Amino acid sequence: MKKSLVKAILISVCLVSTVSAQNLFPLLGGQRIGTAAATFLKIDIGARAAAMSGASVAMAEDASSLYWNPAASAQISGSSFYLSHIKWPVDIEYEYIGYSHQLKNFGTLGFSAGYLHMEDMEVTDEYHPTGTGEFFSYHDAFAALTYSLKMTNRFSFGTSVKYVEEDLAGVKMNGWLLDFGTYYWTGFKSLRFAVSVMNFGTDIKPSGSFLKKTKDGAYSEKEYESFSPPTTFRVGTAMEVIDTQEYTLTTSVQINHPVDNAENAVMGFEFGYLKKLFLRAGYRINYDEEKFTFGAGVKVPFAGSQISIDYAYKAFQTLGNTSQFALGYNF
């Protein structure tokens, strides 16, 4: 049974790595674009994860894993504190904070939060194309509480309860979502296999109502439409194909099934020297805007703990480039 599982996982990894995107993922699902709310939850969190194209469902190193797979936080020893700052296109910025704490034999408890924001924008209309002098604000935010548990030395599971809010010019939308995940060490060297379902929940819609003009010139009160959350199913593997005291090479492969887009795959690679200096790269399959990602990182021992500093660079074809900076502290 175990040998068959390992063979199946290895075959899957090889297929994803060698089959072209056109054959592996037919261009279906594009008609679902724009059908979900709170899509900021799909932005890659963690400079290490972003540099490896988001192939992080089977990676567990710091509190950024709370964002990718609740079960991965059970694999972190001790406590982990994580901060991330993202420079997104069109002057949008995204802040993330995460903390996980191991409760000895009672599992791991984690908290994470994110805040996407931008400067206030001036209102324009057909009569004032350069601005009316009025301004409006926009932001997205989430906060999540995570619990994960190691059932055995190879298998862990986890779940998160997440509150999400969007605010556009005073029109607010909020709701509660759930994340689920599993994490499994296969027993074949360092090969691990993980599955997560993120942002699962009921439809959400803006609160309140608005006035809609009818054909006869009158106004009628209408409620806003509801939208599904950006639920995403992820399955992936990771493994250190080279693991010596001097050099390491980690590979990660992941398949994503989003509710509001076509299926896609991502691959990430991390080369480490003395387990202190790291170079990372990733490639996305069946993405329209994003293809290649790059990054680097350093780990510094500090008073029996470890500090990590990471950077990620992502190139969009038409939207420009983005950068992410992250600081981690494991203790």
Place of tokens 């509660």: 176
* Percentage with pLDDT > 70 across the chain: 90
Q: How confident is the model at residue 23 (pLDDT cuts 50, 70, 90)?
A: very low
Tell me how far apart the alpha carbons of residues 266 and 314 are, in angstroms, rounded to a whole number.
14
* 3-class DSSP assignment, residue 3: helix
Delineate the domains of the chain, giving CATH numbers in brackets. Answer: 2-123+132-201+218-330 (2.40.160.60)
**In this model, does residue 30 exceed pLDDT 70?**
no
Per-residue pLDDT of 192-242, as tens digits, reads: 999 999 999 999 988 877 777 777 777 777 778 888 999 999 999 999 999
Tell me how far apart the alpha carbons of residues 152 and 137 are, in angstroms, rounded to a whole number.
48
Q: Are 78 and 63 in contact (CB under 8 A)?
A: no
Per-residue pLDDT of 273-291, as tens digits, reads: 999 999 999 999 988 778 8
- What pLDDT does residue 29 have? 54
Place of tokens 């209408």: 222
Nearest to 288 by CA among 21, 19, 17: 21
- What pLDDT does residue 304 have? 87
Per-residue pLDDT of 110-150, as tens digits, reads: 999 999 999 988 888 888 888 888 898 999 999 999 999 99
Per-residue pLDDT of 158-188, as tens digits, reads: 999 999 999 988 888 999 999 999 999 999 9
Tell me how far apart the alpha carbons of residues 118 and 133 are, in angstroms, rounded to a whole number.
18
Q: Are 99 and 63 in contact (CB under 8 A)?
A: yes
- Within 8 A by CB and 6+ apart from 261, the residues are 29, 30, 32, 33
Annotate 297-328 with three-state secondary structure. Answer: EEEEEECCEEEEEEEEEEEECCCCEEEEEEEE
**In this model, does residue 6 exceed pLDDT 60?**
no
Chain centre distance of CA 309: 19
Tell me how far apart the alpha carbons of residues 177 and 197 are, in angstroms, rounded to a whole number.
11
**Eight-state DSSP code of residue 20:** -
Backbone angles phi, psi at 49, to 5 degrees: -65, -45
Total length of the chain: 331
**Cβ atoms < 10 Å from Cβ of 176:** 12
Backbone conformation region of residue 330, classed left if phi is above 0, alpha if psi is from -120 to 50, else beta: beta
* Percentage with pLDDT > 90 across the chain: 65
User: Residue 119 burial by CB count (10 A; 0-12/13-18/19+): exposed, middle or buried?
Assistant: exposed
Tell me how far apart the alpha carbons of residues 141 and 278 are, in angstroms, rounded to a whole number.
31
Tell me how far apart the alpha carbons of residues 83 and 85 are, in angstroms, rounded to a whole number.
7
**In this model, does residue 21 exceed pLDDT 70?**
no
Higher-pLDDT residue of 2 and 67 is 67
Higher-pLDDT residue of 331 and 261 is 331
Tell me how far apart the alpha carbons of residues 327 and 331 are, in angstroms, rounded to a whole number.
13
Report the run of H or E that residue 49 belongs to, with start and end: helix 47-51
Tell me how far apart the alpha carbons of residues 238 and 55 are, in angstroms, rounded to a whole number.
9
The reported pTM is 0.85
